[in-house]
Amino acid sequence: MEFKLSSDQNMIQAVADDFLSKCSDSASLRKAIESDGGTDPELWNTIRHELGWCSLTIPEHYNGMGIGQLERTLLMEQLGRRLCTAPYLASAAFSLPAAAGWIAQDCTLSKHKQLTVRMAHTQ
């Protein structure tokens, strides 16, 4: 059995690597660590709003990208490799899926869609 990344998966890695190599360098890391919040708010806004990385695993019918955990793992590998100072792990990888599951049990489909999309695009 041969395990190989698809062209889309390779693209996710390449885009993340290219973007993060430009904006998550040593100087940016030091600046963020020394800030009050310990993160880079501009970088986080770009990741959430322009790149849409927080909505990777949200289904397309909820305005997400609808791709899987493997793709998110490839992205997270690049975030760790570049020591990215955005709170991606806590926000998109842990909190969003947990809250989305809870919301799904407690809300109508319409309300669930609105809340899930809103959570993916805000902090």
Domain CATH for 35? 1.10.540.10
When divided into structural domains, the chain yields a total of: 1
Residue 3 belongs to some domain of the structure? no
Q: Which amino acid appears at position 98 of this protein?
A: A
Instruction: With H, G, I as helix, E, B as strand and everything else as coil, classify residue 38.
Output: coil
In a domain? residue 16: yes
pLDDT higher than 50, residue 15: yes
In the predicted model, is pLDDT for residue 123 greater than 50?
Answer: no
- Pick the closest to residue 91 from 59, 114, 57, 60 (CA basis): 57
Q: 2 lies in a domain?
A: no
Q: Residue 72: which of 7, 16, 2 has the closest Cα?
A: 16
Tokens of 101: 């599951």
Q: Whose structure tokens read 């998550």?
A: 24
Q: Which domain holds residue 44?
A: 8-120
* pTM attached to this predicted model: 0.74
Residue 66 counted as domain residue: yes
User: Does any domain span residue 77?
Assistant: yes
Q: Let me know if residue 99 belongs to a domain.
A: yes
Instruction: Render pLDDT for 53-68 as a digit per residue (tens, 0 to 9).
Output: 888 887 787 777 888 8
pLDDT in tens, 19-52: 999 998 888 889 988 988 888 999 999 998 899 8
Within a domain: 113: yes
Q: Helix, strand or coil for residue 52?
A: coil
Q: Any alpha helices (H) in 1-123, and if so which ranges?
A: 7-23, 26-34, 41-45, 69-81, 88, 96-106, 109-120
